[in-house]
Homo-oligomer: A and B are copies of this chain.
Amino acid sequence: MKVDLRLYAILDPERTRGRNLADLARAAATGGATLVQYRDKHAGTRDLVARARAIKAALAGTGVPLLVNDRVDVALAAGADGVHVGQDDMDAADARRLLGPQAIIGVTLKTQAHLGELATLPVDYGCIGGVFATGSKDNPDPPVGLAGLARLVDSARGTRPGLPVGAIAGIDATNASAVIGAGADGIAVISALFMREDVEAAARKLRGIVDGALAARGATDAGR
């Protein structure tokens, strides 16, 4: 499935100011999020399933898919559309086998080694991690920055032409345009969306920036 990564909204209960996850997901989708991920490293499985179901129900009719971070069991039980797997999570090939060909499976890419594996991974998108410094996740590695991002995106496109490639970590309204300018197909955001008072408005603004930057990049590419 061709995944739309333009505004990838990642819901982490630790970064929501304690608000209802389903309400926030709906607000993000209404504002223009194109993909939602539920990421929760602390809740027990029973709560994970209940929350994922509530988020999935809140997204009904929006056309916005829901992915679950890491947990294939939760995705299956809640009827989510797929999973996002990091380097410590289930192998993408195992996840594909359990979820089937229709599921969306995405992977985090942080290094050239990860990009080397990308050739054979049964995934629908890649997301370059660690672009800028972030408070949303402990990250021992230094940020790759815009130049690093551009290199990694180029490398991913060389390995898997046509694969959507997003970017994550520290992305907000101030740098989203530059991220798209560096070659990403979209931005994954956590705090820049779900720590804001008005999530729908924040989504609308970010989506506008991404769409504008994609259009500008398209014009530049066409003019070459």
User: Judging by beta carbons under 8 Å apart, are A77 and B94 in contact?
Assistant: yes
Q: A70 an interface residue at 8 Å Cβ cutoff?
A: yes
Residues 81-118 of A, flagged 1 when their CB comes within 8 A of B and 0 if not, give: 00001011111001001100000000000000000000
User: Judging by beta carbons under 8 Å apart, are A44 and B89 in contact?
Assistant: yes
Task: List residues 45-82 of chain A with CB under 8 A from any CB of chain B.
Answer: 45-47, 49, 70-74, 76-77
**Which residue of chain B has the shortest Cβ distance to A44 in the bound complex?**
B88
Bound Cα distance A44, B87 (Å): 9
Bound Cα distance A88, B44 (Å): 6
Bound Cα distance A46, B71 (Å): 11
The SS class assigned to the A binding surface is helix
Residues 101-141 of A, flagged 1 when their CB comes within 8 A of B and 0 if not, give: 00000000000000000000000000000000000000000
A163 to chain B, nearest CB (A): 22
Bound Cα distance A76, B87 (Å): 19
Bound Cα distance A171, B98 (Å): 37
Give every chain B residue within 8 A of A87 (Cβ-Cβ).
Answer: 46
User: Judging by beta carbons under 8 Å apart, are B47 and A90 in contact?
Assistant: no
Give every chain B residue within 8 A of A45 (Cβ-Cβ).
Answer: 70-71, 85, 88-90
Give every chain B residue within 8 A of A89 (Cβ-Cβ).
Answer: 44-46
Give every chain B residue within 8 A of A73 (Cβ-Cβ).
Answer: 71-74, 76, 90, 98
**Which residue of chain B has the shortest Cβ distance to A78 in the bound complex?**
B94
User: Judging by beta carbons under 8 Å apart, are B91 and A46 in contact?
Assistant: yes
Give every chain B residue within 8 A of A47 (Cβ-Cβ).
Answer: 88
Bound Cα distance A85, B72 (Å): 16
User: Judging by beta carbons under 8 Å apart, are B98 and A76 in contact?
Assistant: yes
Chain A residues close to B by CB (< 8 Å): 44-47, 49, 70-74, 76-77, 85, 87-91, 94, 97-98
Known: A46-B87, A46-B88, A77-B90. 20 other contacts (CB 8 A): A44-B88, A45-B71, A45-B88, A45-B90, A46-B89, A46-B90, A46-B91, A47-B88, A49-B90, A49-B94, A71-B73, A72-B73, A72-B76, A73-B73, A73-B74, A73-B76, A73-B90, A73-B98, A77-B97, A77-B98
